[in-house]
Amino acid sequence: MGLTNGHAAFASLSASAINRFIYNLAKARPRYFRFASGSPPSYLGPFEHVPALHLPGASGGGVDYILEITLPQLDLYPGSGSQQLPAPLTLGPNQFSITTGLTICIAKDYKIVGHKVVPVEDCATLNIWAVGELSTSDPHNVQLDLGAHADNIILKNVGDLESIGENLSLILVNALLQKMTYPVKKQALGALTFSVADGPRIEDQQIKAWGDLS
Partner 1 sequence: MPSDATVAVSQDGLTTLLHGLLPNGPISKSSEVEWELFSASYDVSIAVSGGSIQLNDLAQVIRFLDINVAGHAHAEAACDLGKILPHLCIPPVQICTPGFFGRKFCTPQYCPTWPSVSIPITIPLDINVSADFNLNVVEDGSNFNIVLGVIPSSLVIDATPMAGLILQAVKDYLHPIFAEIPHIISKVIDDLVHTAISAFDDAAKNLAILIRTLLHDLILGSDLLAPSAGITLLSFSKTQVLIPSDGTPANPDVSITLTKLKVNIADGELVATADIA
Cα–Cα distance measured from residue 29 to residue 23, given in angstroms and rounded to the nearest whole number: 10
Whole-number minimum distance, CB 24 to partner 1, in Å?
6
Q: Report in angstroms how near the CB of residue 36 gets to partner 1 at its nearest.
A: 15
Nearer to partner 1, 129 or 194 (CB): 194
Those residues with Cβ within 8 angstroms of residue 87's Cβ, 6 or more apart along the chain or in another chain:
none
Q: Is the Cβ of residue 6 or residue 60 nearer to partner 1 in the bound state?
A: 6
Residue placing its CB nearer to partner 1 in the complex, 135 or 181: 181
Would you give the DSSP letter of residue 61?
T
Burial status of residue 115 (CB atoms within 10 A of its CB: 0-12, 13-18, 19 or more): exposed
Least distance (Å) from partner 1 to the CB of residue 182? 4
CB of 164 to partner 1, least distance (A): 31
Q: Which residues bind partner 1 (CB under 8 A)?
A: 1-4, 6-14, 16-17, 20-21, 24-25, 28-29, 31, 46, 80, 179-182, 186-192, 204-206, 213
**Strand ranges for the chain from DSSP E:** 9-14, 34-36, 48-49, 65-69, 73-76, 95-113, 116-135, 145-155, 182-183, 194-203, 206-213
Which residue's CB is nearer to partner 1, number 144 or number 155?
Answer: 144
Rounded least distance, CB 180 to partner 1, Å: 8
Q: Which is nearer to partner 1, 31 or 54 (CB)?
A: 31
SS3 207: strand
Q: Residues near 9 by Cβ (< 8 Å), separated by ≥ 6?
A: 188, 192, 194, 210, 211, 212, 213
